[in-house]
């Protein structure tokens, strides 16, 4: 939950921790999926992952930031693979 006091805005730690944990867990699931099945189309992986869209895409960003996945865009097709 976000609270506003004057001009300062801060989030409570339970909201941030829960979201980060969800994204971190999803990133682990995504990495294991790619390790077992190899590269795939993002839309197909998303259907199989059964994760909320925001968590799924944040997990991709998490793995990309850590240098663990590569995202390739070819026209409208987006491929995800482990590095």
* Full set of structural domains in the chain with CATH: 13-82 (1.10.10.10)
Task: Give the separation between CA 70 and CA 83, rounded to whole angstroms.
Answer: 6
pLDDT tens, 12-63? 444 444 599 999 999 999 999 999 999 999 999 999 999 999 999 999 999 9
Closest by CA to 74, choosing from 30, 50, 42, is 42
Closest by CA to 31, choosing from 49, 18, 47, is 49
- CA neighbours within 13 Å on the CB side: how many for 27? 18
Residue 2: pLDDT band (50, 70, 90) is: very low
The two counts, helices (H) then strands (E), for the chain are 3, 5
């Amino acid at each position: 939950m976000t609270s506003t006091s004057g001009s300062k805005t801060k989030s409570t730690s339970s909201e941030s921790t829960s979201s980060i944990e969800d994204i971190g867990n999803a990133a682990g699931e995504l990495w294991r999926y790619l390790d077992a099945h190899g590269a795939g189309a993002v839309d197909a992986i998303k259907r199989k992952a059964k994760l909320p869209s925001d968590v799924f895409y944040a997990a991709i960003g998490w793995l990309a930031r850590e240098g663990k996945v590569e995202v390739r865009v070819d026209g409208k097709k987006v491929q995800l693979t482990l590095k």
